[in-house]
Amino acid sequence: MDDVITVIKDQIAKNPVLLYMKGTPQFPQCGFSAQVVEAMTNVGKPFAYVNILEAPEIRQNLKEFANWPTFPQLWISGELVGGCDIVMEMYRSGQLKELVEGAAVEGDA
């Protein structure tokens, strides 16, 4: 389990904007993941993703690591932003774009 947590921490540290989702951005495997991908695509900045359906050990351990039981999970600048409801609310208010753009600039520095 420690190895999996190390992998998760590494993924979060190396990717300023990271989405843990079911499926891929091109082929989401659940409606919630599809909504978040659409919002992220509309923001217009690149983001990394992990398909948790292909990584069951990450899927299980991330729930405990993040203390967040559901997917998708959006991480920005090393912090858990939240799941679909929170991301969609932030997208509609414009907060998501600001947060992602700030992380993209940070990541480029």
Convert the pLDDT of each residue in 46-103 to its tens digit. 999 999 999 999 999 999 999 999 999 999 999 999 999 999 999 999 999 999 999 9
Whether the pLDDT of residue 33 is over 70: the answer is yes
This prediction's pTM: 0.93
pLDDT recorded at residue 30: 96
Strand order in the sheet with 79-82: 48-51, 17-21, 73-76, 79-82
pLDDT bin (cut points 50, 70, 90) of residue 2 is: confident
Backbone phi and psi for residue 82, each to the nearest 5 degrees, phi listed first: 145, -165
CA nearest neighbour of 79 among 15, 30, 4, 5: 15
- Paired sense of beta strands 73-76 and 79-82, if any: antiparallel
Half-sphere exposure of 15 (CA within 13 A, CB side): 19
DSSP H/E element including 77: none
